[in-house]
Each structure stands twice: as C-alpha cells, then as structure tokens.
C-alpha cells in the first residue's frame, strides 16, 4: 500500500477512535440523560473546536467538562494530523502524479539514441534489467500501469522512464521517441503484435536496429520482411541453454556469475573506433586501453566484417573497426570516451604578405 494512503488510514482510525471514546464517555457520565445522538454531536463539535453549546445540564454532571477539555486537547492534535495527511495525499497523489508525468515526458523528449522496449512482461522485463545494468538509456512501454510502477521500483530504483499505452499504436511509439531511438525491442506476448510494432517502428525510423521476439518458427521470416534487424526465439535459446548446461556447465556458471554480479556489472560489449579517433592506426599494445580502462579486447571486427579473435599486441586498429571487449560497465564507458577522442588536425596559418609561400623552407 502507498505510504501516504497508509498514514491517511491511521489518521482516520485515530479520529474514529476519539469520537467513539468521547461519545461513550458522555453517555456513561450522563447515565442515560443524553441520547446517543446528542453524545456524538457534542463530541464532534468539541473535537472540531466549533462548540455551539453544551448539552443540557452538563455543568451538573461531574466529569463532563473534564472530558470536554480532554477531547479539545486531543482533537486539535488529531485533526491536525488528519489534515496534514490529506494534504500529503493530494500532493503525492493527484498533484504529485501530474508533476511526475510532466517530468518524465520532458526526460523522454530529451533522449536521443536510446532504446525503446515494447512490452515488459516475462521477456521484456529481462531486457529492461540488462539495459539498467549496462546504463543504457531506454523507454519502456506497457499497457499495465501498475506493472510499470512496480518494475520501476524493483529494477530502476523508481527512475524508470516509461509510457503507459499500447505499443502497437503509432502515437505511443512516437511518445517514446522511437523516431530518435537507435534500437527497438519488440517483446510483446503475441507474434502478431510484435509484427505490427516492427512495421510501425520501421516506418517511423528507417535507421533503428529492431530486435523482435518470436514464439513460432514460421513467424521469423515475416518479422524480417517487416523490417526486423534481428529476431530472438526464447524457446530456441532456452533449449540450447538446457543442452549447454549438460555439455559445458562451468562455462555457463562463469557467464551466469558475470551477468548476475550486481557490484561489478561485468559485460561483453562492442565499441566502435570512429573516424578520426586518437587510437586509429595504433597497435593494440601502444594504446592505453588496458592501462586506463582495464578492459580485455576479446576480438576485433574489420571493415569486411571479418573477426580477429584474441588479437596480438601488434594488431593495428583502424578507423571503423569494432572492438569486442569484456569489462565492467564503468570501464567500458571510459573506453568509449577514449576511442571517441579525436586526433587534433594540424592548422595552416594564412600567408602574412604577398608572395609568401606556405611551403616549408628546404
């Protein structure tokens, strides 16, 4: 239960108990001289500090005014507690939700090059967990608002960016910034829904990498024709994993520990060497990759998409190469910054006078 609602219920319970105690107290002290309605009425006007008038012959009833004083003192504190919780409930509820929605919408509009996850069910949840672990910006879409809120607190410490809606509708994908996204994960339950998401996402963003979940083998070629870059069959992966657990259990244990280590977040990642990078043209041993980032270069893919596994220290890195590395998430972020540093271009100073040549003297 929401903490604000819980506090509100406690405050109302305290008020009800105080009204019951006051009403019963007046009834007992009056020995039946006042009706139950009169006792409740007297209690309510006393707790609210309105105090229109006392009950008949109250001055002659021993202890009646003492009870009234006690109710006034107790009522002031109880009503202040109730009013404070009502205000908090409004702020954290209606006003708070409106503020959070506005803040989330602005945060999503500011994203560029993020990932859109359509569907956060049994499969999409794991995709969300991996994106959170690798600190990849993303937006989740789901039709179940309660599920999105639970997922936000359980996985992203309440900072999940999400859109509540049907991912098969174009305006929902646009609200998630699909036109600016670098990737889309279609992880809805049914293949037909994932097919529709794939078609819509491809029409809205021709350059995005779209990875689509399929459950039926026959749906795979349809997804590719619809614009999916890659397809994933959870049943096929699960079957291969079952066999792998029998054949190579130690390798699987290593991979599991790598993925489940929440403190280190050890991952296999890909890092491209952009044009103009400071490490382009350098041998692997001459770079500061190992010293500054402590990541391990597992393989390098060249422009022809050929992989060189376990490259030698003398291996030369060229522009456009793709590094397959293993390391902690923070170290990989440092590596991306390292390869993004460009080589300073030499500048040629303009001639200072007529007839002056820019050619260096011989």
DSSP 64: H
- Per-residue pLDDT reduced to its tens digit, 86-114: 777 666 665 667 778 889 999 999 999 99
- Per-residue pLDDT reduced to its tens digit, 66-82: 888 888 888 888 888 88
* The pLDDT of residue 8: 78
Q: Name the band, by pLDDT with cuts 50, 70 and 90, for residue 358.
A: very low
Are 82 and 7 in contact by the 8 Å Cβ rule? The answer is: no
- Per-residue pLDDT reduced to its tens digit, 161-194: 999 999 999 999 999 999 999 999 999 999 999 9
Which domains, and CATH codes, for the chain? 3-103 (1.10.287.70), 112-238 (3.40.50.720), 265-340 (3.30.70.1450)
pTM for this structure? 0.59
Phi/psi at 317 (nearest 5 deg)?
A: -90, 130
Whats the size of the chain, residue-wise?
A: 362
Please state, for a pLDDT cut of 90, what percent of the chain lies above it: 50
Q: Which of 167, 69, 81, 80 lies closest to 116, judged by CA?
A: 167
Instruction: Please state, in angstroms and as integers, the Cα–Cα distance from residue 43 to each residue in 29, 40, 57, 85, 285, following that order.
Output: 13, 5, 16, 22, 85
- Per-residue pLDDT reduced to its tens digit, 242-262: 999 999 999 888 887 776 665
* The pLDDT of residue 66: 87
Distance CA 209, CA 227 (A): 9
Lowest mean pLDDT: which of 47-56, 139-148, 208-217, 237-246?
Answer: 47-56
Are 266 and 326 in contact by the 8 Å Cβ rule? The answer is: yes
Q: Does 23 score more than 60 pLDDT? A: yes
Q: Which of 21, 236, 223, 225 lies closest to 123, judged by CA?
A: 236
* The pLDDT of residue 233: 94
- Helix count (H) and strand count (E) of the chain? 12, 10
């Amino acid at each position: 239960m929401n903490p604000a609602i819980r506090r509100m219920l406690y405050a109302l319970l305290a008020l009800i108990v105080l009204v019951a105690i006051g009403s019963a107290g007046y009834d007992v002290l009056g020995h039946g001289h006042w009706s139950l309605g009169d006792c409740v009425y007297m209690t309510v006007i006393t707790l609210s500090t309105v105090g229109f008038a006392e009950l008949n012959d109250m001055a002659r009833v021993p202890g009646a005014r003492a009870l009234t004083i006690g109710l006034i003192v107790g009522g002031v504190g109880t009503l202040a507690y109730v009013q404070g919780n009502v205000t908090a409930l409004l702020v954290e509820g209606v006003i708070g939700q409106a503020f959070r929605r506005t803040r989330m919408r602005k945060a999503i509009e500011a994203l560029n090059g993020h990932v859109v996850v359509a569907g956060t069910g049994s499969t999409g949840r794991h995709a969300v967990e991996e994106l959170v672990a690798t600190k990849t910006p993303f937006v989740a879409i789901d039709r179940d608002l309660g599920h999105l809120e639970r997922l936000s607190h359980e996985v992203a410490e309440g900072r999940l960016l999400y859109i509540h809606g049907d991912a098969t509708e174009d305006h929902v994908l646009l609200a998630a910034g699909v036109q600016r996204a670098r990737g889309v994960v279609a992880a809805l339950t049914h293949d037909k829904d994932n097919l529709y998401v794939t078609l819509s996402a491809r029409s809205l963003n021709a350059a995005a990498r779209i990875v689509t979940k399929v459950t039926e083998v026959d749906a795979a070629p349809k997804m590719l024709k619809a614009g999916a870059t890659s397809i994933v069959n959870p049943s096929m992966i699960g079957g291969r994993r079952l066999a792998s657990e029998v054949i190579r259990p130690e390798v699987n244990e290593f991979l599991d520990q790598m993925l489940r280590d929440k403190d280190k977040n050890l991952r296999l990642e890909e890092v491209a060497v952009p044009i103009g990078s400071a490490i382009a043209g350098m041998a692997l041993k001459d770079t500061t990759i190992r010293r500054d980032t402590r990541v391990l270069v597992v393989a390098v893919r060249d422009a022809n998409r050929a992989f060189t596994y376990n490259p030698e220290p003398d291996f030369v890195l060229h522009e456009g190469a793709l590094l397959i590395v293993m390391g902690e998430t923070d170290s990989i972020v440092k590596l991306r910054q390292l390869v993004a540093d460009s080589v300073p271009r030499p500048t040629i100073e303009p001639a200072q006078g007529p007839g002056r040549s820019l050619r260096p003297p011989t």
